[in-house]
Structure 1
């Protein structure tokens, strides 16, 4: 799977980097600051209740201001929620603008119109 958004490529995200993300801790492709940010994203996306946030935030504070850490957490949470919504609505593509179906394949509404 390739990088979807042109803006991601413009900012330097390559397929090689994308494929290295699951193994970011061992990868030489990421800076220590990027690894700290990815550690936060990984904790939030995974078993977030068991994550060692004291250690994660201690590492983040080496590279980022408190404002930047809050922004990293906010954007991570926003994209995680967005991905879950796309999955819940069974949206077939998010590569550009897309329509969101009001009814599931069974014909039942995903939500009530008000």
Structure 2
């Protein structure tokens, strides 16, 4: 696989605006662990290897366990996630797959049971933001770092 282009080199000003906005969303006050789980899960759904790689590393740096990262794609069947995390992950799936789900009332109600109105907006912005980054990375075929030991033969 070869990267199509570097969007930061092609449009530095607008990409800086994206980074600034992403930083504001990241620093909005939601728990760091929850934020990374949401980013990883949306990236799994979208198939964004670059973002999965980045956010799994970030989650580990913040103390997330390997087991929870491995089981994230099957969060509904695992007892390792809190009710608040489950609500966020359900809302993440509903919005990431919005053309299929149309953000069902049940997913909204589950999310609202654990998030204030302000937190609901912050979570929704977070989900939207990671979906934008996934589309940038997938569209331009960003390649995640590869250690020599991990490289395919």
User: TM-score, normalising length from structure 1?
Assistant: 0.70
Show the counterpart of 1:30: 81
Gapped regions of structure 1 (runs ≥ 5) = 96-114
The structure with the larger Rg is: 1
- Structure 1 runs (4+) deviating above 6 angstroms are none
> In structure 2, the residue corresponding to 1:25 is in which secondary structure?
helix
Gapped regions of structure 2 (runs ≥ 5) = 1-48, 147-153
User: TM-score, normalising length from structure 2?
Assistant: 0.53
Contact 1:3–1:18, Cα closer than 8 Å, also in 2? no
> In structure 2, the residue corresponding to 1:86 is in which secondary structure?
helix
1:23: Cα distance to partner? 1.0
Show the counterpart of 1:66: 117
Show the counterpart of 1:80: 131
Q: Match for 1:49 among 95, 99, 106?
A: 99
Distance in 1 between the 2:113 and 2:142 partners? 39
- CA 1:24–1:38 in structure 2 vs 1: closer, same or farther (change >3 Å)? same
1:31: Cα distance to partner? 0.6
**Aligned alpha-carbon RMSD (Å):** 2.4
The structure in which a higher percent of residues are helix is 2
